[in-house]
Amino acid sequence: MRPNDRSVDQKGRSFIETARRAQIVEAAVDTLAELGYAKASFARIAQRAGISPGLISYHFRNKQELMEQVVTEVNADMERAIEERVEGAEGHVAVLRAVIEGFVHYCAARPARLVAVGQIEGAEGWGAQEREQSIGDFEQLLRSGQDDGEFRSFSSRLMAATLLAALEAVPTELHARPDTDVRAYADELATTFELAVRKVDH
């Protein structure tokens, strides 16, 4: 749910090299989404990208390095999309709504990317680490809302884990029900958590 620290130093790369790496990453995403992690070989990724497997090896030492880059770029892209929604939000409730709605809309717009990341994290065993990082981020937001008196008293850890579980279910739900009204789904999910955390004046 968030960028990790597996990014590769971008300094010193030419525009062509950067563009080629981006092409390979996108081909890897599509291959992972269609065939799964086990079948996402350099040969199949290269075939989808319309290049030779050797060219992938020139840019990435091995499959793991390419998979790391896929996760890093997808998470960074997702964070940028969510930050655009969060920008200008006033108050913790508004920020929470923007994060939830932003994630749902990102999943709807780029479903293959979420499937690809899920394939990688499941195969490489990175899911647990990423999950703890995401829970920590949500806990920080929730505690901040409590400290400012906007959120009621509750276990920030429990609420953060519950929120993450709800977000993790989004890609599967959208994939299973492609006719879902995404705007309504995002609004309903955000409202559910707004009601769960908001302080009620008596």
Q: Model confidence over 136-194: pLDDT tens digits? A: 999 999 999 999 999 999 999 999 999 999 999 998 888 888 899 999 999 999 999 99
Query: How confident is the model over 116-143, as a mean pLDDT?
Result: 90
Q: How confident is the model at residue 83 (pLDDT cuts 50, 70, 90)?
A: very high
Model confidence pLDDT, tens digit, residues 26-43: 999 999 999 999 999 999
- The CA distance from 61 to 93, in Å, is 44
Longest alpha-carbon distance in the chain: 67
Domain around 169: 63-197
Whether 109 maps to a domain, the answer reads yes
DSSP of 181-193: -HHHHHHHHHHHH
- The CA distance from 183 to 170, in Å, is 13
Long-range contacts from 107-111, C-beta under 8 angstroms, 24+ separation: 107/170, 107/171, 107/174, 108/174, 108/180, 108/182, 109/81, 110/77, 111/33, 111/171, 111/174, 111/175
Q: How confident is the model at residue 3 (pLDDT cuts 50, 70, 90)?
A: very low
Q: Residue 7 pLDDT more than 60?
A: no
Count how many Cα atoms sit within 13 Å of the Cα of residue 191 in the half-sphere of its side chain: 6
Whether 157 maps to a domain, the answer reads yes
Whether 128 maps to a domain, the answer reads yes
Three-state SS for 48?
helix
Whether 161 maps to a domain, the answer reads yes
- The CA distance from 31 to 48, in Å, is 7
Alpha-carbon torsion (180, 185, 186, 189), positive or negative: negative
Supply the pLDDT for residue 127: 75
Whether 202 maps to a domain, the answer reads no
Whether 117 maps to a domain, the answer reads yes
Query: How confident is the model over 121-145, as a mean pLDDT?
Result: 90
Q: Residue 6 pLDDT more than 80?
A: no
- The CA distance from 95 to 141, in Å, is 9
Supply the pLDDT for residue 4: 44
Q: Which residue has the higher pLDDT, 125 or 110?
A: 110
CATH number for the domain spanning 186: value is: 1.10.357.10
Q: What's the whole-model pTM score?
A: 0.81
Supply the pLDDT for residue 2: 47
> Domain count of the chain?
1
Supply the pLDDT for residue 202: 57
Q: How confident is the model at residue 12 (pLDDT cuts 50, 70, 90)?
A: low
Q: The tokens of 70 are what?
A: 């896929």
> Which residues make Cβ contacts (< 8 Å) with residue 73, sequence separation at least 6?
22, 25
- The CA distance from 72 to 168, in Å, is 18
Whether 78 maps to a domain, the answer reads yes
Whether 188 maps to a domain, the answer reads yes
Three-state SS for 56?
helix
Q: Residue 105 pLDDT more than 90?
A: yes
